[in-house]
Amino acid sequence: MAIQDFITGIQHVGIPTADLDKTMAFYESLGFERAGLFPNGENRCAFMRFGNLTIETWEGDPTNPTAGAINHISLNTTNVDQAFAAAKEQGLDLVNEEVQSIPSFWDKGIRFFNILGPNHETVEFCEILR
């Protein structure tokens, strides 16, 4: 028996926030749905879900306005150019001025760009080239 025998995939990523409403609105603007909103003592905790990715975000704990133990959240992207155009049109906080490329990843490389969320978390949109 090994721990990997009990792992089926990502469950959620936890991100504390100073403004839960702003954080929920941000992730909803990316297509996430609110899977749950729960009391957390005097504060609230929300679970935001997109496909098999769930983000738990909550109020009441200290936040870190820089990248910490979790450097970024990466989302699979079917067309990075169209996603980049949509991000610009939506007025998201772009980290990159253009789509980036790493040809040595996977068989044919990746193309990606990053944005910042309301807690300064980096969200990467990545297309694995096929």
- Same domain, residue pair 110 and 72: yes
CA-to-CA distance for 79 and 23, rounded, in angstroms? 25
- Same domain, residue pair 52 and 80: no
Q: What is the pLDDT of residue 1?
A: 59
Predicted TM-score (pTM) of the model is 0.76
Domains identified in the chain, total number = 2
Q: Write out pLDDT tens, residues 57-77.
A: 999 988 887 777 677 898 988
Q: Which residues contact 115 (CB under 8 A, 6 or more apart)?
A: 87, 92, 93, 94, 95, 122, 123, 125
- Same domain, residue pair 57 and 74: no
User: Which structural domain, as residue segments, surrounds residue 116?
Assistant: 64-130
Residue 22 located in a structural domain:
yes
Task: Evaluate whether 29 touches 35 at the Cβ level (below 8 Å).
Answer: no
Q: Write out pLDDT tens, residues 18-61.
A: 999 999 999 999 999 999 999 888 899 999 999 989 999 999 98
Final residue in a domain of this structure, among 63, 91, 112: 63
- Same domain, residue pair 83 and 40: no
The average pLDDT across 107-126 equals 91
CATH number of 49's domain: 3.10.180.10
Residue 1 located in a structural domain:
no
Residue 113 located in a structural domain:
yes
